[in-house]
Amino acid sequence: MPAAEGLLLVAHGSRDPRAAPVAHEVAALVERLRPGVATGAAFLELATPTPQEAVETLAARGVTDLTVVPFLLSDAYHAQEDLPAVAELARSRGWTVRLSRVLGPDPRLVEAAAARLAGTQAPGGPPLDAVVLAAAGSSNRQANDTMAETAAALGRALGVPARCAFASAAAPTVEEAVGDLRARGARRVGVATYLLAPGFFADRIAASATSAGAVAVGEPLGACPQVAAIVADRCGT
């Protein structure tokens, strides 16, 4: 029997070909975690499918009850302005539609960031003595404040001093945050990349961290189990 319940992940979109597959991989993981729920991914720009195309695909699978999940870590511009329009697009078909909140903050994202950073360390090697949580940055002050709280949580999880930093639109920069920790005596600073997918900002964070003297840079969170579990929890809510 065709699925009546669906979940649509909506990401901003990127010109970088490494980015879009992450959302599709997460959607596929969620469909395995929630049998009977038809999932898909869509992009607001720069990648396909568009929300319209993704809704058509879900309709062909029998969906009439949809949860729209922003594939975003924080409650920034796109969550507030663009995602409601996607929900209305599906609602105009007569569907029951819920617009979920963004993925963060969530302790599982801190766990995922710590795991990505740990993956850069050789077994038995010297531990990190400080950490920077590096995000894209936003003009939304509340979103940036949330990053500071998430960085503090990462520091507590690792038992080391922590700072947040931003690749754009906000301060401090990655170079400034790493430099501050080094000036305070840290010698092995790691940088956790708090992004969902590879791309321009992830590359900028990695380059900035290395030039500032960081000894480790974690990969973006990607299609990790923690992200998939958070999205799966949004089904029907």
Same domain, 38 and 60: yes
Overall average pLDDT of the 198-204 stretch: 97
- Residues 6 or more apart whose CB falls under 8 angstroms from that of 80 comprise none
Rounded-to-integer distance, Cα 17 and Cα 183, Å = 38
Same domain, 161 and 64: no
Which helix (H) or strand (E) segment holds residue 33: the answer is helix 20-33
Print the domain residue range for 49: 5-103+223-233
| Nearest Cα residue to 221 out of 123, 131, 104 | 104
Rounded-to-integer distance, Cα 170 and Cα 153, Å = 20
pLDDT grade, residue 46 (50/70/90)?
very high
User: What is the per-residue pLDDT across 153-185, written as a single tens digit (0 to 9) for each?
Assistant: 999 999 999 999 999 988 999 999 999 999 999
Same domain, 157 and 178: yes
Rounded-to-integer distance, Cα 162 and Cα 154, Å = 7
Same domain, 28 and 92: yes
Same domain, 112 and 203: yes
Same domain, 87 and 134: no
Same domain, 153 and 115: yes
DSSP per residue, 78-104: HHHHTHHHHHHHHHTTT-EEEEPPPS-
Same domain, 138 and 172: yes
Total count of domains within the chain: 2
Position 76 scores a pLDDT of 66
Same domain, 30 and 130: no
What is the pTM (predicted TM-score) of this model?
A: 0.94
Q: Which residue matches tokens 């940036």?
A: 144
User: What is the per-residue pLDDT across 121-140, written as a single tens digit (0 to 9) for each?
Assistant: 988 889 999 999 999 998 88
Same domain, 83 and 121: no
| Domain at 113, CATH number | 3.40.50.1400
| Residue 77 pLDDT exceeds 60 | no
| Residue 1 pLDDT exceeds 50 | no
Position 74 scores a pLDDT of 87
Same domain, 87 and 130: no
Same domain, 16 and 86: yes
